[in-house]
A = this chain, B = another copy of it.
Amino acid sequence: MSEKYRGLSPAEFFHRNKEIAGFSNPSRALYQTVRELVENSLDATETHGILPYIDVEVRLHEDRPEWVTLRVADNGIGIPAHEIPNVFGRVFYGSKYVVRQTRGVFGLGVKMAVLYAQMTTGKPIYVKSSTRDSDVVGEYLLYIDISRNIPHVQKMRIKKKNKNWHGTIVRLTLEGAWLQSKKRIEDYIRRTALISPYATIRYRSPDGELLFERVSKELPEPPQIGKYHPKGVDIEILKDLIRRSNNNDMTLAGFLEKYFEGVGEKIAQEFLTWAGFQPDTKVKELKLADLEKLATAMKNFPKWRRPRPLTLSPLGPELLKKGVKSILKPEFATAVIRPPSSYGGHAFIVEAAIAYGGEIPPQDNVLLLRFANKMPLLYDEGVDVSRKIVDSIDWSIYKIKFPAPVAVVTHVCSTKIPFKGVGKEAIADVPELEHELEIAIRDVARRLRIYLSKLEKMYEVKRKEVTIRKYMGEVSSSLAYVLNMDPNSISSLLEELLKKELEKKEVTVNA
């Protein structure tokens, strides 16, 4: 029998392979759906300078206990009414295919949620949205036409806005194993509150209500949309940019200056001379072999400026520490931010925090909380670069003896997180990233060691004080007898002496 060949639409592909996007079963699918919606809401708010207010509600269906209705509402920038169908109903469609740090990047997550809902309960997704500058609100009920990968609108209504509302409300009903997923979902919400301490998140579920009020009104500088870095280029990117430039007179020098980050007139000239190109060559006339030579040279030129971090939006150590303290409630916490770095032309910044004691339960290993572009990563820790580093460290040199109540928080911000899968659960061990993460983790670990050393010394002094006091009465009366003095005055003299000694040894311990 001969083989039959056919093509699949992207929606068909992910319908068949939903586990690849994290939708492997009703428990994981519910968790993943919460995640995708919350992350879209955060992207729609803080990325645009809005203090996030996010309302998440999980409701179980009365007649069908395996059906879960999830509603997420935000105060974000909203989606233009005419874009709503594609944004929710077409796989590989979105606004985030640019050089900028966002949680979403694939244009896939929310579509997977829609797919999962319609394949398990047959229900369409409900979306209501309005943008800041619009005077209408769009409401849709829609499916995905899987075989054609296009939205199928069941109902829509565009109406005048009667108040100044902007944001997005999404509601869908899917098969979800609530009992098996509720712990993960709560963990996820809690960790989201940790990494977004300027967000207020209200979470209502069959188990009750949790309210995470923002602990700071200070929003990190929102990320800007950047250009490609010349080091991150390949032949196909060059071809695409030349085609899109749509300008027959564009010279090589002009092309480099226009489309690449940190490339001014001077450095463009210097590079082209170095690489053996004429700066006034028309890009439209470049042959494939020229493009190959150009791409290789761009990768290898040693003098490009580093990618600038304006496309990134880290938390900063103060906010990160606030978040850690408010969620983990430790006795000690500290955080660092590393200077911007890059891999393959993608800018990145690493932040790390360490927390010790307090409400952190003692464990046989370091409790690791991983974050990427402000998203908590809960699954697949075993293959994540942060776990690899934490496990490679000999913690005894930092005065940690397990079981110990110690948590490490890592946060990677990048225009391109090297995720190991579209489910966005683990970060690959890119060498540049690994290097920065290790420095950051060791840095906060060192600070913890200083804290623990001081604590040790303080206890030692206290212990000595107790011992001395124990014998002070006896010593006083013996001295009083020998010197024929009043025991009380001797006692207070000794007390003064002790105080002076203790003051010398006083240790300041800041948590």
Contacts and interface: CB of A to CB of B under 8 A. Distances in A.
Contacts of A426: 383
A487 interface: no
Given A17-B422, A92-B13, A95-B5, A24 B119 contact: no
Contacts of A17: 106, 422
Interface stretch (A191-199, A288-296, A489-497): A288-296
A97 B15 CA distance: 12
Contact of A420 (B94, B235, B380): B380
Nearest to A28: B428
Given A17-B106, A77-B3, A120 B422 contact: no
Contacts of A422: 17, 20, 421
A80 interface: yes
B122 A418 contact: no
Interface stretch (A82-90, A160-168, A206-214, A319-327): A82-90
A91 to B, nearest CB: 9
Interface string A411-423: 0000000111111
Interface string A336-374: 000000000000000000000000000000000000000
A302 interface: no
A163 to B, nearest CB: 21
A146 to B, nearest CB: 6
A430 B10 CA distance: 25
A7 B423 CA distance: 20
A32 interface: no
A234 B23 CA distance: 14
A276 interface: no
A122 B115 CA distance: 37
A6 B97 contact: yes
A428 B24 contact: yes
Contacts of A243: 147
Contacts of A87: 5
A63 interface: no
Interface string A1-38: 01111111110110111011000100000000000000
9 contacts: A2-B133, A8-B92, A8-B97, A15-B236, A19-B419, A119-B236, A121-B235, A146-B240, A147-B243
Interface of A: 2-10, 12-13, 15-17, 19-20, 24, 77, 80, 83, 86-87, 90, 92-95, 97-98, 106-107, 115, 118-122, 131, 133, 146-147, 234-237, 240, 243, 288-289, 291-292, 380, 382-383, 418-423, 426, 428, 430
